[in-house]
Structure 1
Amino acid sequence: MSEKNLSRRRFLLTGAAGVAGATLAASAPAFAAKAAQGVTDAAAAAVTGGALRHLSVRQVRTELLDIGYHEAGPENGRPVILLHGFPYDIHSYVDVAPMLAARGYRVIVPHLRGHGTTRFLSASTPRSGQQAAIGEDVIALMDALHIPEAVLAGYDWGGRAACVVAALRPSRCVGLVSVNSYLIQDIARATQPLPPQVEWGLWYQFYFQTERGRKGLEASRNDIARILWKNNSPTWQFDDATFVRAAEAFNNPDYVEIVIHSYRHRLGLAPGYPLYEDAERKLAKLPAITVPSITLDGMADGVVPATDGKGQAARFAGPRIHRQIPGVGHNLPQEAPQAFVDAVSELVAGGKWRT
Structure 2
Amino acid sequence: MKTQDFYYDLPEELIAQDPLEDRSSSRLMVLDKETGAVTHKIFRQITEYLKPGDCLVVNNTKVIPARLLGEKIHEDSQDKEKGVHGARIELLLLKRRENDIWETLVKPGKKARTGTRISFGNGLLTAEIIDQLEDGNRLVQFSYKGIFEEILDQLGEMPLPPYITHELADKNRYQTVYAKEEGSAAAPTAGLHFTKELLAEIEAMGIPIVNVTLHVGLGTFRPVKVENVLEHHMHTEFYQVSGEAAAVINDTRKKGGRVVCVGTTSCRTVESAADESGIVHPGSGDTSIFIYPGYKFKVLDALITNFHLPESTLMMLVSALAGRDNIMAAYEEAVKERYRFFSFGDAMLITTQNVANVSKNK
Structure (1/2) with the larger helix percentage:
1
Per the normalisation by structure 1, the TM-score is 0.29
Normalized per residue, which structure has more strand? 2
TM-score by length of 2: 0.29
Radius of gyration: which is bigger? 2
